[in-house]
Amino acid sequence: MVFRAPIRSMATAARRSLKIGMLPADGIGREVLPGAKAAILALGSSIPKMEFIDLLAGFEYFTKTGTALPDETVQILKSECDCALFGAVSSPSRKVTGYSSPIVALRKKMDLYANIRPVKSVSINPEGRPGVDLVVIRENTECLYVKQETQTVGEHGKEARATRLITERASRRIGELAFKMALERPRKHLTVIHKSNVLSITDGLFRETVRAVPTLPGVDGKYDDVTVAEQLVDSAVYRLFREPEIYDVMVAPNLYGDILSDAAAALVGSLGLVPSVNAGDSFVMGEPVHGSAPDIAGQNIANPLAAIRSAAMMLRHIGYGDGADRIERAVDSVLREGKVLTPDLGGKSKTSEVVDEVTKRI
C-alpha cells in the first residue's frame, strides 16, 4: 500500500533523531503496538537515533487514577516527540462519570484534524474483495464528537440531546486535504459524503465548503483534474458494499467517516488490516482503525498488521518514505503468501509470529 505524505509536508532531511511517543492504552492496543515498534526497529540505521517514549493513557489507567489522559502525556508529546503511535482504548458504552475518551481528546489537543484511512484489497486474500483501493478522510475534531450532550426530563420522560458542530474552518481544511490527496492518486476522484437532504444546515455547510475548495483564492485551477462526486451517507454505505471500486477518496464529517471506514474494512477481510494516521499541520499520530477488541484481548491472536501499517504511514508522513515502503512491502508479501496469518484472516498464527515474519522481510 503506497501512501503519500498529505497536508503540509513534515518531511525534514535534516532530522537527526526520531522520538516516537508510544501510547498502547488498552486491550489489544498493548499487543499490537510492540509489533509496530519491532517493524520500525527493523529499519535499523536508516532511521538515525530512534527513541521510543512510553506514555500513559487509557481506560484502565483511568480506573486506577481517575484520569484517562494525564497532562504529562500531552506535554511530553508536545515538547519531546516528533510523532506518536496509539494502540486502542476501551471506552465503555455506558456513561462513566469523569471518563472521556483519551483518543478523542488527543486528536483535539494536538489539533490532529484529519484521520486518513486507506483501505486496499490484498490480491490473495480469500476473505476480501478485489478492486478496493480507497481512502476515507475523516474530519477529526468536531461533528457529534464535540461531546456536548445533555439530558433533561420532559413531559414524556428523559430527553437526551447532542450538539453537532460543523465549522467552515474545519470543513475547509479537511476539504483542502481531500483535494490534495485526490490529486496525488491515479484516479483523482473525490466523493463528498454528507446527509444534507436532512441536515441541511450542518451537512449543508460541510458539503458547500468542501465543494468550494477549487474556487479558493490561490488554487488557480490546481484541482482541475480532480473529478468530484457527492453522495448521501446511507447510499454511500450501500454502494460501498455493492461496488466499492467506484470510490477513490471519500471525505466525510467525523461520525460518517468513522462508520464508513469500519465498513470499508470489512471489504478487505478484517479490521485488523486497516491503518490510519491522525494528522495535523505539525504532528502525526499513527493508529490502527480497530478498537481494543476485548473479545480477543490477552490471547496473542490480534492481527498486528493494522498497527504495523499505521507505523509505516506515520513514517511516510514525516519524510521516511523509504522506510515506509520497506515495511509496507514486507506486510504485503506476508499477506500475499498467506501462510502466517492470524485467525481473523483464517490463519492459525499468533500475533508474535506475524510480527516476526514481517520484521524478517523488512
Q: Which residues are catalytic?
A: 145, 195, 234, 258, 262
Name the segment binding ligand NAI (CB under 6 A); options: 131-139, 173-181, 233-241, 288-296: 288-296
Q: How many residues bind Mg ion (CB under 5 A)?
A: 1
188 near ligand NAI (CB under 6 A): no
28 near ligand NAI (CB under 6 A): yes
Phi and psi, residue 286, nearest 5°: -75, 150
| 8 Å CB contact between 66 and 99 | no
358 near ligand NAI (CB under 6 A): no
Q: How many residues bind ligand NAI (CB under 6 A)?
A: 22
3-state secondary structure of 361: helix
Q: Which residues contact 344 (CB under 8 A, 6 or more apart)?
A: 269, 270, 271, 272, 303
- DSSP secondary-structure letter at 120? E
Neighbour count for residue 82 (Cβ, 10 Å): 18
Question: Minimum distance between the CB of residue 155 and ligand NAI, rounded to whole angstroms?
Answer: 33
Nearer to ligand NAI, 86 or 320 (CB): 86
Cell numbers standing for residue 221: 485551477
Cell numbers standing for residue 214: 477549487
Cell numbers standing for residue 64: 486506577
CA distance 197 to 232: 8
Question: Minimum distance between the CB of residue 289 and ligand NAI, rounded to whole angstroms?
Answer: 7
* One residue of 107, 138, 194, 290 binding ligand NAI per CB under 6 A: 290
Per-residue contact string for residues 53-92; x = within reach of ligand NAI by CB under 6 A:
-----------------------------------xxxx-
**Residues between 319 and 348 with contacts to ligand NAI, criterion CB under 6 A:** 342, 344
Question: Minimum distance between the CB of residue 33 and ligand NAI, rounded to whole angstroms?
Answer: 11
Nearer to Mg ion, 31 or 258 (CB): 258
Q: E strands along the chain, which residues? A: 18-25, 50-54, 83-88, 114-120, 133-139, 149-154, 157-162, 189-194, 227-232, 249-252, 277-279, 284-286
Cell numbers standing for residue 107: 486528536
Per-residue contact string for residues 252-291; x = within reach of Mg ion by CB under 5 A:
------x---------------------------------
| 8 Å CB contact between 206 and 169 | no
225 near ligand NAI (CB under 6 A): no
Binding residues for ligand NAI, per CB under 6 A?
Answer: 28, 32, 88-91, 103, 270-272, 290-296, 302-303, 306, 342, 344
Binding residues for Mg ion, per CB under 5 A?
Answer: 258
